[in-house]
Structure 1
Amino acid sequence: MPVNTWPLMWSGVISEVNRVKSKPLSPSQRRSVEYIQQVFDKESVSNLSLGYSYAEQMNPIRGFGDTRRDEVQGYLAGEVMGERWAGKLQVNNIGDPLDGEHTHYDGSYLTGLLGNWAFTVGAIDRWWGPGWESGLILSNSARPVPGISLQRNSSEPFEWDWLRWIGPWQFTAFAGKLESDRVIPDAKLLGARFSFRPLRWLELGLSRTAQWGGGDRPQDFSSFKDLLLGKDNRGSSGISEENEPGNQLGGLDFRVSINTAIPIGFYGEFIGEDEAGGVPSRYIYTAGIDTVIPVGDSSLRIIFESSDTAANRMSGTARFNYAYEHGIYKSGYRYRNRPLGAGVDNDSRAQHLALNWLLDSRQDVRIRLSQFDLNTDQAGSQVYTNGNAVAVGESHDYAAILNYTYRAPSWRASLGYEHYSGDLRLRGVDAGDDVVSVSMEYAW
């Protein structure tokens, strides 16, 4: 099944787990299967949960596996699972929120199945693409945008012979509304993604998002049609500033998995901030390599990943203040002052070396060393001025993160350490300080 679209549907995941259970597995592979089964057993039943996390500072740049966003957060949640529907109400209280909203309902949802489609309303995190540390078009850096969505429940291949070559495939689409405190208030965020595995070792994905409407911008059917057809460049197809339909991003990603004695994966994501000849252009990119090494009965995943969010820099001529920016939607591709795409926001480079060590089905250790070149055009002393929302001016240096997690049947606890070099100028963070974080969750 395609796995580079989050959230994943449990029906496909557990089918894969059941398929490999009867096959010969190494001790480390068996641990991984047991871990997934343990998480499924916990999350597939109705439950109440209570959680609390504390850190001395907010988490400024999040990766895929990061769960902490704010300094202090407590939550109470109730989740009900039915045969064809599921729902969750989560109430979060934030101690010192970046956006000033102390109480919100992120993580809440209501989902119903109709045929092979899941229809959802709520506010849930999304991550599109194969990157472990950067999701260029959608990531968990910003809070989830409330809205509606649909997604295939099972990623089984087409039954028609002439389309079976596509292999297992997934499609998801959503529509949400951004906050009112923007240059264009209440703009809509739309997105769609198609991913498929034509070969067992190859996964491909096509993604597209758009900011549309809001404020006094056109948002009728004609404007929506122009948006879908990509007619949004001024000076062509009768498009002017008055009727320009929106701000779009689009691109492709891939992952190649080589299953040898020590498996290796290569992956990349390329997102265009403009359109030329009907396809995205002026790309930003993420590229990486990972492998899983057995260590006794445990498994160690090693990841090296590199990203560049300056438009067209990979072609030799960087366009600064271009990626994640727009002449009309001047608040940029952001939600509540955080980037919707890459955690470093625009005009930045990041290199990561990460070690994810699954000790057993209950314990894991995560280590990440990062080198950042943030906001390399030196712009963005404040948000909403065509500049980076994460960094203040230009800065270059490293960060180190260490996290240990223990999972019991009814509770989970984590202890973390973070250090951002004093030369990194990050919004809301006293760089140079050592940060300790603790979190605890209990479910019954």
Structure 2
Amino acid sequence: MLDAAVTSFPVPWKGIAQQLEKIQTAELPSIPSIAAKRLKHYLQVHKSQTGQSIISLYGASDDSRFTDFSGLQAQKVQLNITKEFYVGRWAGQVSANYERGGKKHFDESFIAYQFGDWNLRLGSISQWWGPAQSSSLILSNNARPIPALALSRSETTRSKHHLLSYLGPWFFTMQLGQLETERSVPDTKIWSSRFNFKPVSGLEIGLSWNAMWGGEGKGNSFSDFIDLVTFERDCINGAISCNNDLKSPIGNHLAGIDFSYSLIIFERPFSLYGQRIGEDKGDYLNVRDNANLVGLSSYFWGSKIYLETSDTNVACSNQGLPGNNCYYEHSTYTGGYRFYNRAIGSTFDSDADMLTLGINKQFSDGDLFEIMFNRLKLNQDKQQPSPVVSGNSEDIHRLSGFYQTQFGDWLVKLGANFEYTDLNLESKTESLIYANFKYKLN
């Protein structure tokens, strides 16, 4: 329906807006008609505003442990006040977050300037790279958004340039961010880039590359950055010179590919998708030590149903890291591929086997319902590589869901999670309920 690349979130309106305005929703089947009407509504709201103010209150019976594309990584209680603005080519928002204990931060705040087909942004916004809904192996909303300077294409549709048009719809972003001070190497920097495109109808391909580098006591100059992106190598034992088999590319690299292929079978839409992300320990583009995610989705009974599985139990070839306890880990950046102690990639962190069945229902009045079942196997070797698990192995059966509705200027989301966990010879049952209330001030 929409000729656009859509596996990098957030998806810019430019280009898509023009296509939406041409769609005749009355001529579409029920499910795509509801989706198109919903997008058209958001587009009209966006076009009619020069900015809006929103106040949001989130409360839960406990801190969230796992999240997903529709979820929220938050403490028990969080108050958020957001002010958006749009002036000419400028756009931005200030988002003030207040948590219990007096903690506050400005996640989801940014300022951006659009020039031509490009957008320059400074700030921290939640992003999701990949086609899956339960997790992403390289960048998800599991951790807090990373403050970064980003240069991105301002649309995801087909380029008008006669050479670039052969790529089909495409999107590109490159970002330079900085991680927190309270980690093993304070103020580590992170380079992120992604290119996703649709070379043929129904097929979208994404290429992603993130690399941690610099920080306190490390090289932080422009020449050090050039060494990073040109895959210069140094000795993993810290020596000035060593044999080639003791050398590794500078920084902590993760890179890989994802795809999504959509087709019609028996007059029903199906999507097959996958993601393969590895720790980049080889030379140049030789990505090794890969974790995988695979999924399938379709529509039944007016709902999107998806089945996904991923496995981050990876036996890495990097020296100095034991067994499977290496994915998202690094011998220099010992805090790992994490931000404030949560994985930047997979919701379930490393050494995790996941199977997810989800149902997502959008109603014609704009209400949204989702229910998800997870079967998780975490830390099977009991060596606790990730902060998300205890020192024990865990077999978890988890049921979660929410309902979201709108009353005038109020948006209300109510949800709950239930977990049954086997911990060696013990078992426990836990539950969490939460509510999120948003009110549009103007």
User: Fold-level match, TM-score > 0.5?
Assistant: yes
Q: Name the structure 1 match of 2:438.
A: 441
- Structure 1 position 83, deviation (Å): 3.1
Counterpart CA distance in 1 for 2:59 and 2:117 is: 40
Counterpart CA distance in 1 for 2:95 and 2:56 is: 11
Percent of aligned positions that are identical: 28
Q: Name the structure 1 match of 2:362.
A: 358
Q: Name the structure 1 match of 2:417.
A: 418
Pair 409,32 (structure 1): closer, same or farther in 2 beyond 3 Å = farther
| SS across alignment from 1:227 | helix
Q: In the alignment, is the contact (CA less than 8 A) between 2:396 and 2:420 conserved in 1?
A: yes
Counterpart CA distance in 1 for 2:134 and 2:352 is: 14
Q: In the alignment, is the contact (CA less than 8 A) between 1:284 and 1:312 conserved in 2?
A: no
Worse-matched range after superposition: 75-84 or 113-122: 75-84
1:406 maps onto 2:405 in alignment: yes
Aligned pair partner of 2:39 in 36, 42, 63: 36
Q: Name the structure 2 match of 1:384.
A: none
Q: Name the structure 2 match of 1:157.
A: 158
Aligned pair partner of 1:276 in 275, 279, 282: 282
Q: Name the structure 1 match of 2:319.
A: none
1:20 maps onto 2:26 in alignment: no
Within-5 A mapping of 1:39-438: 39-44=42-47, 45=49, 46-95=51-100, 102-232=103-233, 234=235, 245-260=250-265, 261-277=267-283, 278-293=285-300, 295=301, 299-311=302-314, 319-380=323-384, 387-393=385-391, 394-423=393-422, 432-438=429-435
- Structure 1 position 310, deviation (Å): 1.8
- Structure 1 position 71, deviation (Å): 1.3
Worse-matched range after superposition: 342-351 or 219-228: 219-228
CA-to-aligned-CA distance 1:321-376 (integer Å, 9 cap, x gap): 11100000000000011110101100111100000011224211100000000122
1:405 maps to amino acid = Q
- Structure 1 position 27, deviation (Å): 2.4
Pair 243,276 (structure 1): closer, same or farther in 2 beyond 3 Å = closer
Counterpart CA distance in 2 for 1:395 and 1:272 is: 24
CA-to-aligned-CA distance 1:19-61 (integer Å, 9 cap, x gap): 4336720122211111112233344521111010111011111
Counterpart CA distance in 1 for 2:117 and 2:428 is: 48
Counterpart CA distance in 2 for 1:281 and 1:409 is: 52
Q: In the alignment, is the contact (CA less than 8 A) between 1:138 and 1:341 conserved in 2?
A: yes
Pair 440,43 (structure 1): closer, same or farther in 2 beyond 3 Å = farther
Counterpart CA distance in 1 for 2:326 and 2:248 is: 21
CA-to-aligned-CA distance 1:172-197 (integer Å, 9 cap, x gap): 11111111111110000110000100
Worse-matched range after superposition: 334-343 or 360-369: 360-369
- Structure 1 position 160, deviation (Å): 5.0
2:379 maps to amino acid = N
Counterpart CA distance in 2 for 1:373 and 1:15 is: 45
Q: Name the structure 2 match of 1:383.
A: none
RMSD: 2.4
Worse-matched range after superposition: 58-67 or 271-280: 271-280
Unpaired runs of at least 5, structure 2: 317-321
CA-to-aligned-CA distance 1:401-431 (integer Å, 9 cap, x gap): 0200002452200111111214369xxxx96
| SS across alignment from 1:254 | strand
- Structure 1 position 435, deviation (Å): 1.6
| SS across alignment from 1:33 | helix
CA-to-aligned-CA distance 1:137-180 (integer Å, 9 cap, x gap): 11100001112111111234344545432111100111111111
